[in-house]
Structure 1
Amino acid sequence: MRLFYAVFLPEDVRRALAAAQEKVSRYKGWKAVPPHQLHLTLLFLGERPEEDLEDLIALGHRLGRRVPPFWATLKGTGYFPNEGTPRVWFAKAEGEGFGLLAQDLRDGVREVLGEEALQAEGERAFKPHITLARRKAPAPRVPPVVFGLTWPVEAFALVRSELRPKGPVYTILERFPLRGEHGRAEEKVSGERPEDH
């Protein structure tokens, strides 16, 4: 199974990103990510055997109990790579919890499955972002978009990705509410309990 951990986005953030995606839709060389699939990848695991699922789910719940909900901010757009011909157009995200979750997931996977389980992720530094479109053919860069949106991050998920001719299909295998060290006593940033999402 092709697996990754990710944070999915609330509806208002998805709407804002979908509006920005219209800027590239006029260029045939760019292929936009469907709005319902927009997410921020915390750790990409690649192909993993089904017997790893139990450990990966247990790790997610363990970290969810430890990491509290946090605020995230959607900044502006950028390109990977920044110089030369871009392959990916993305939205930059900021939030203290993103780096913490990504590092804890990396450390946890290394501990329970071994170093080889991180080979798919490679040595890239973690940069929280949401992929908006991928370049499939020659196409120009689009002007930057600035968002300035803030939203509460209250859960993350373990996701299965199935590659299909029309694009990947994502299935959320398990959601992990962020509760922090104080469990349910931790007041949520949005005024609702994390497990409501």
Structure 2
Amino acid sequence: MRLFYAIFPPREVQAALSQAQEKLRGYRGWKPSPPHQLHITLLFLGEQPPERLPELRRIGREVAARVRAFEVELGGTGYFPPSGSPRVWFVKASGEGLEPLAAALQQALPDLKAAPFKPHLTLARKKGPAPRVGPLLMNIRFHAKAVCLVESKLERSGSQYRVLEQFPLG
């Protein structure tokens, strides 16, 4: 099972972000992320055996319980990589609980080699040669209330996400 921990914004925020994705119209090569799948990845777990699910659920529950609900701010857009040919168009995320959540999950799972945490929501991925869309400033806020354990299935049409469990923040 391909898994990750994430925070999903509320539907109204997903709808506002889908309006930002409209900027991609007329720009060939970009594939927008489906609005209902927009999320902030806290820790990518990669392929995990189903037998490990009870442990991953316990860790998610324990870590989420130690962090109080907090406000997330979505700021400006950017690219990975920051220069050269872009592969990902994203919006930056910040909030007092993001770093503690990501760090606590990583500490609870020392066997995973995680990339440095860069809080963001992926708005689109490059499908082929694609120009850079001009910068946008979102200035959107929402309250993070839960951490989710998510399964990602790679399909021909793109990744499909299924929330396996939500863990309320403390």
Q: Report the TM-score range of the alignment, normalised by the length of the smaller protein.
A: over 0.9
**2:164 match:** 173
3-state DSSP of counterpart to 1:57: helix
**1:76 match:** 76
Q: Which runs of 5+ in 2 are unaligned?
A: none
Deviations 1:100-146 (A, max 9, x none): 00000000112xxxx2xx13x3xx32110000000111111111111
CA distance in 1, matches of 2:168, 2:26: 38
TM-score (norm 2): 0.97
CA distance in 1, matches of 2:138, 2:81: 21
Matched to 1:158, the amino acid is L
Question: Which has more strand, going by share of residues?
Answer: 2
CA distance in 2, matches of 1:18, 1:26: 15
Question: Which has more helix, going by share of residues?
Answer: 1
Q: How many positions carry a matched residue from both structures? A: 170
Q: For 1:9-88, list aligned pairs within 5 A.
A: 9-88=9-88
Instruction: Indicate the larger mover: 24-33 or 83-92.
Output: 24-33
CA distance in 2, matches of 1:176, 1:26: 40
3-state DSSP of counterpart to 1:163: strand
CA distance in 2, matches of 1:26, 1:12: 25
User: 1:153 deviation in Å?
Assistant: 0.5
Deviations 1:82-111 (A, max 9, x none): 11111100000000111100000000112x
Residue 126 of structure 1, aligned match among 117, 120, 130:
117
Does structure 1 residue 159 correspond to structure 2 residue 150? Answer: yes
> For the aligned residues, what is the CA RMSD?
0.9
Matched to 2:4, the amino acid is F
CA distance in 2, matches of 1:177, 1:94: 19
3-state DSSP of counterpart to 2:138: strand
Residue 132 of structure 2, aligned match among 138, 141, 155:
141
Is the CA contact (8 Å cut-off) linking 1:25 and 1:31 kept in structure 2? no
3-state DSSP of counterpart to 1:152: strand
Identity of aligned residues (%): 52
User: 1:74 deviation in Å?
Assistant: 0.6
Is the CA contact (8 Å cut-off) linking 2:86 and 2:130 kept in structure 1? no
Instruction: Indicate the larger mover: 24-33 or 39-48.
Output: 24-33
Matched to 1:95, the amino acid is G
Does structure 1 residue 101 correspond to structure 2 residue 101? Answer: yes
Deviations 1:129-180 (A, max 9, x none): 000000111111111111111111110100000111011111111100001x
